[in-house]
Amino acid sequence: MRKTLCLLLILLFLPLMPQKASAVGLPTVSAKAAVVINGLTREIIYSKNEHQKLSMASTTKIMTSLLLIESGLLDDTYTVTKEALVEGSSIGLKEGDSITGKVLLAGMMLESGNDAATAAAIWISGSQTTFADKMNQKAKQIGMQNTNFVTPSGLDSDEHYSTAYDMALLAAAALEVKEFREISSTVSMHATYGTPQKTKFFYNHNKLLTEYDGAIGLKTGYTKKSGRCLVSAAEKDGKLIIVVTLSDPNDWQDHKNLLDYGMSQVESCDITYNGGDIEVAVVGSDISLVALAVPKRTAGLSEEEKKYITYKIETEGFQYAPTKAGQIAGKVYYYYKGNLIATDNLYIGGDTPFSNTSHPDNNFWRSFLLIFSFFK
């Protein structure tokens, strides 16, 4: 009788107990080294030899791509030198070819061109050796304590190594950069380059982009020495999960399982900006100020972690009437412990009709602001 009563009480109160993320069984992983992290907090969710130093092959190009973006050369044009023509995977560059930084970036991240990576390194730093110094400086900034870069492409070298955990930190840092996010999630594109100019079709080697819901990148890699290497990331319900495997013969399936596992272990909460009303001035209307609407934002954080969220608001300063509800008028940036984790547009919350009678100074201020914006 007592056992029956206890069972009834458990069944009665079970729905009232706090619910965590749905459970997914801990997967078996074939890799020599692997790690799963919460991309927002950098917290380790799963690990296997995550600090073991191993070759990381072409996943190296994540760092090279990040430094190319930071160089500010994406819209500039480079003339390829013979030093960039290295062995291995290639986008077919030839000495004297003309190519933009954006195409070099795509050539690295989609087609894994060693020539594209080497060309970018020589363009930025003058030589592969000098560029490797820049790579290692950036690695230290990110917190990669067990990494040493020698080549921009990932070609084998005894002194070129990293760890699963360090590569996960690199992935998290790279995903904070808009241009990197865009190229790492691009499935295919046409690219024009060469002398004379020709258009080629680039196709991303990362099968997860089409086989895993929410996948946003990042990079494949393979050499005989390193085996199959893969860095992946996926977003769902505000959660960002990053998975790295090094020397993994079953990487595609392992990553699907590990991404599922990571998603199941991370909570999600509402972090929408609530720091007070955001308003912008309106010129040329009876309404002098209009409120901005903030879209809802969830993130893969616990309620305890939520307290580390900070915000930055950017608005356009003023709007000319008439305005319409839904117009973009600014941005809100979300940071977790100083790391950018999300960006949303701010929208005008209501219509403001034009009027040149209610405020005599409207025409004066409109002219003033037009002149100011011209010289800004």
- Based on the number of CB atoms within 10 Å of its own CB, is 76 exposed (0-12), middle (13-18) or buried (19 or more)? exposed
CA distances to 38, 255, 266, 268 from 258, rounded to whole Å, are 12, 5, 13, 18
Token pair 């729905």 is at which residue? Answer: 15
Secondary structure class of 264 (helix, strand, coil): helix
Cβ-contact 244, 221 below 8 angstroms: no
- Domain positions in the chain: 33-265, 279-375
Known catalytic residue: 61? yes
- What sections of 198-265 are H helices per DSSP? 208-211, 251-265
The angle formed by the CA atoms of residues 160, 164 and 166, to the nearest 5 degrees, is: 70
The active-site residue out of 55, 58, 226, 285 is: 58
pLDDT tens by residue, 320-347: 778 888 889 899 999 999 999 999 999 9
Q: What is the DSSP string of 267-294?
A: --EE----SS--EEEEESSS--EEEEE-
Fold agreement between 33-265 and 279-375? no
Strands (E), the chain: 33-38, 44-48, 77-79, 98-100, 188-193, 198-203, 215-223, 227-236, 239-246, 269-270, 279-283, 289-293, 298-299, 309-315, 318-320, 328-336, 339-348
Known catalytic residue: 58? yes
> Given this model, what pLDDT does residue 325 score?
87
The active-site residue out of 112, 153, 226, 285 is: 112
Q: Does domain 33-265 have CATH number 1.20.120.1770?
A: no
Mean pLDDT by 10 residues, the chain (376 residues): 36 36 75 98 97 98 98 97 93 97 98 98 97 98 98 95 98 96 97 96 97 97 96 96 98 98 96 89 79 93 94 85 86 93 91 66 47 44
> Given this model, what pLDDT does residue 16 score?
35
Encoding tokens for residue 328? 């973009």
Cβ-contact 101, 73 below 8 angstroms: yes
Calpha distance 301→309 (Å, rounded): 10
The active-site residue out of 32, 61, 219, 256 is: 61
> Given this model, what pLDDT does residue 6 score?
37
Q: Which residues touch 49 (CB under 8 Å, ≥6 apart)? A: 32, 33, 34, 164
Spatial CA neighbour of 339 closest among 42, 16, 29: 42
The angle formed by the CA atoms of residues 161, 165 and 169, to the nearest 5 degrees, is: 100
Spatial CA neighbour of 303 closest among 102, 113, 108, 18: 18
Backbone torsions φ then ψ of 279, nearest 5 degrees: -130, 155
**What does the CA dihedral 229, 235, 239, 241 come to, rounded to 10 degrees?**
0
Secondary structure class of 201 (helix, strand, coil): strand
CB 290: neighbour CB atoms within 10 A? 23
User: 279-375: CATH homologous superfamily?
Assistant: D-Ala-D-Ala carboxypeptidase, C-terminal domain (2.60.410.10)
Q: In Å, how far from its chain's centre is CA 112?
A: 18
Encoding tokens for residue 272? 């929408």
Amino acid residing at 286: D
Calpha distance 235→215 (Å, rounded): 6
Calpha distance 144→125 (Å, rounded): 21
Encoding tokens for residue 243? 């998975």
> Given this model, what pLDDT does residue 357 score?
56
What is the SS3 assignment for 114-170? HHHHHHHHHHHHCCHHHHHHHHHHHHHHHCCCCCECCCCCCCCCCCCEECHHHHHHH
